[in-house]
Amino acid sequence: MTSTLYQQIQQFYDASSGLWEQIWGEHMHHGYYGPDGNQKKDRRQAQIDLIEELLTWAQVQHAQDILDVGCGIGGSSLYLAQKYNASAVGITLSPVQASRATERAQAAGLSTRTEFQVADALNMPFADASFDFVWSLESGEHMPDKQKFFQECYRVLKPGGTFLMATWCHRPAMSPNKPLTLDEQKHLEEIYRVYCLPYVISLLEYEAIARHLCFQNIRTADWSKAVAPFWDIVIDSAFNPAAILGLLFSGPTTIQAALSLGLMSRGYQSGLIRFGLLCATK
């Protein structure tokens, strides 16, 4: 990654992760509200449901050595390690997140089976064929080189292993679809600026990358409707006293992100922002 982007992402999550955990808990990702997004449920349960629905969709029956790319404070890593009685390694660009994930593993009695470290997903410090399950939940959007990201995931995956990714995308924009409009491009650029993203691509483009790299059994799905209510619920939660007080002490980047939550909500409503899934095997 470029050093500037690396620093921006690190600083963003160093500053915001504590507040997010305080208000929302350990899972730093969308929730699942049913196939059409109409189910009402506890917000944290919705996040657990997203994990379970992803695993069911990808038909992940078992795992032994798990890699969580973009692990946050260890929510998915610990959940998957417990569910599959497996070992899990989580990587993040944020030292604050890695430290907190380690603390949470100790509290959960999983410190012997989990490890968290600061590492670049485009240059992972792991040997070839180290993991039988590579999990990437909402980290692909941060990658400045999507192909290199997929190359690294493919490299560290064991033969027969499963790669499962869910990531922010934009709508299909290649023929026969219409190109992104100027207003859509400006909308995306605002999201990039606020959430420290280099760019996003369409799910079709991710699928093309996977095919080029010889992934097998590639499957994709668009779950935008299922997760879209998440952002309005986050917006509502930002107006409670604890969140407002926390924001005041969290720094300018976190405040800016909180004030810009509507960018994502409006992006889903217009169809510009998509929640894309891809699973494949090696």
pTM of the predicted model, to two decimals? Answer: 0.93
pLDDT score, position 248: 47
Task: Name every residue whose Cβ is closer than 8 Å to that of residue 240 and which is 6 or more positions away in sequence.
Answer: 23
Q: CATH says 3-281 is which class? A: alpha beta
Q: Break the chain into its structural domains and give their ranges.
A: 3-281
pLDDT score, position 1: 52
pLDDT score, position 94: 96
pLDDT beneath 50: ranges in the chain: 247-248
pLDDT score, position 239: 62
pLDDT digits (tens, 9 = 90+) for 149-178: 999 999 999 999 999 999 999 999 999 999
